[in-house]
Structure 1
Amino acid sequence: MKRKIIEIDEDLCNGCGECIVGCAEGALQLVDGKAKMVKEDFCDGFGDCIGTCPTGALQIVEREAAAYDIEATREHVAQMGDEALKKFDEANAEHEAKEQSEQENPKMSGCPGMQVRMKKADEAKAKAKAATGEISGQVIKSDLEQWPIQLHLVPPTAPFFDGKELVVLSTCSPVASPDVHWRYVRGRSLVVACPKLDKTEGYVEKLSQIMAQNDIPKVIVVRMEVPCCGGLSMMTQQAHAQSGRADLVVEEVTIGLDGELRGTKQL
């Protein structure tokens, strides 16, 4: 049958194993230092593993593949212990809900990070007026105090990093939430990156240099709630480890697709 399934680019895979942790179905394992599919019928094609990959080696494709076998997969996961089985059942419930939603609204199907979402017209207009200052009669100015901001372009020893908290900002966050500037950009230095669409080679190394070579008291990852954005947190964690900065606090802030703050946690 033709269906959605995970495909792994071995040239991009660095063998970190994070995708294996992210796969609740136990469909992946490391073989000779590379992530491999254990059995096609263990992969449900929802792609929870994609957001954990720091190199972009995983993607969802549609091709001829064995049908997903939920009963065989559950038996396979049960061999890994109670926690693994609990994780599987929770993921399965979430996937069933997504599948039901996609059947009811086919336009919302596909990768969560690529789904088209629209606000009600009145709500969108009101927020647009507020963002432009039309309601208050004031023009809202940018809180950005530096340039460049793209991670590819910033020099690790740029003076705007020293002595300030660093924000590692996903590309979509400031568009999704009008609060990002005053809440996270104001008074801080920042770098902007997208773990799904950027060429991320060298990102971990550059981030680790920025952390190691500047007096940065705290790093805040501001990401969207879609799975692919998890790669930004993963790269930041790896950079933190490489920097040798045991004193550095690293937090993750998640922005919902409605622009609201979902939560904050320490990495």
Structure 2
Amino acid sequence: MIRKMIQIDTKKCDGCGLCAEACHEGAIGIVDGKARLLRDDYCDGLGDCLPVCPQDAISFAEREAAPYDREAVMKNMKKKSGTMLAQWPVQIQLAPLQAPYFQEADLLVAADCTAYAYGKFHKTFMEDKVTLIGCTKLDGVDYSEKLGEILKRNEIKSITVVRMEVPCCRGMELAVQKAAELSGKDFPVPVFVLSVDGRIQKEVK
């Protein structure tokens, strides 16, 4: 298929490795002192690597390439670091409205305190999901509009919410429920509520 991909000018590249560090999917590696695109199917085409290159050696090109393989990327990331995080960025406010990793994804929307309150958060909630996090109280925004656009523009399969038991955290649950309504799609929204002492307090379906 023809899609937008990064290309690396090896004549400009000085092998600093910043692009490889910025590529959370593991598509870029340093080979013989130069940055190389190791696998087309690991590159999501979003270009997180472009702004970190001090030599301006990376650019976009439309070319024949294997489709982005989110499942393969997730397996690679888990193997390398033990994380269940499938994409970057994770903050709702920073997330794009449309991205390859959203297609056919099971979406987890979590209050950002939940990962600290529950020790098995990655394995219990994040595995095989695209994760978005935020805090409705601290960010002081209504996430429903942006989440609704994400649901409209992508073929999301399911949504799960994880929040804390504290009253202010219910804003996350309400925002996702409103987003599901705004999207015009029929999404059941299961909600897991965590206690401040690290237990799954209840599940609401």
For this structure pair, what is the TM-score category when the shorter chain's length is used for normalisation?
0.5 to 0.7
Structure 1 unaligned residues grouped into runs of 5+: 1-138
Structure with higher helix content = 1
RMSD: 1.5
> How do 1:114-193 and structure 2 match up within 5 A?
141-193=82-134
Shift of 1:140: 7.4
Assess if the C-alpha contact under 8 Å between 1:170 and 1:192 holds in 2.
Answer: yes
> How do 1:216-255 and structure 2 match up within 5 A?
216-246=156-186, 248-255=187-194
> How do 1:30-179 and structure 2 match up within 5 A?
141-179=82-120
Distance 1:170 1:221, change over 3 A: same
Structure with higher strand content = 2
What SS does the corresponding residue of 1:250 show, helix, strand or coil?
coil
Residue identity opposite 2:118 in structure 1:
S
| CA distances 1:205-252 after superposition (whole Å, capped 9, x unpaired) | 110011111111211110000100000011111111110002x22111
Residue identity opposite 2:189 in structure 1:
V
1:259 alignment counterpart: 198
What SS does the corresponding residue of 2:145 show, helix, strand or coil?
helix
Larger Rg: 1
| CA distances 1:90-145 after superposition (whole Å, capped 9, x unpaired) | xxxxxxxxxxxxxxxxxxxxxxxxxxxxxxxxxxxxxxxxxxxxxxxxx9721112
* 4+ residue segments displaced more than 3 Å: none
What percent identity do the matched residue pairs reach? 34
What SS does the corresponding residue of 2:91 show, helix, strand or coil?
coil
Assess if the C-alpha contact under 8 Å between 1:220 and 1:251 holds in 2.
Answer: yes
TM-score by length of 1: 0.45
Size of the aligned set, in residue pairs, is: 126
TM-score by length of 2: 0.59
Structure 2 unaligned residues grouped into runs of 5+: 1-79
Distance 1:154 1:140, change over 3 A: closer
Shift of 1:193: 0.7
Q: Distance in 2 between matches of 1:257 and 1:198?
A: 20
Assess if the C-alpha contact under 8 Å between 2:161 and 2:190 holds in 1.
Answer: yes
Q: Distance in 1 between matches of 2:116 and 2:81?
A: 15
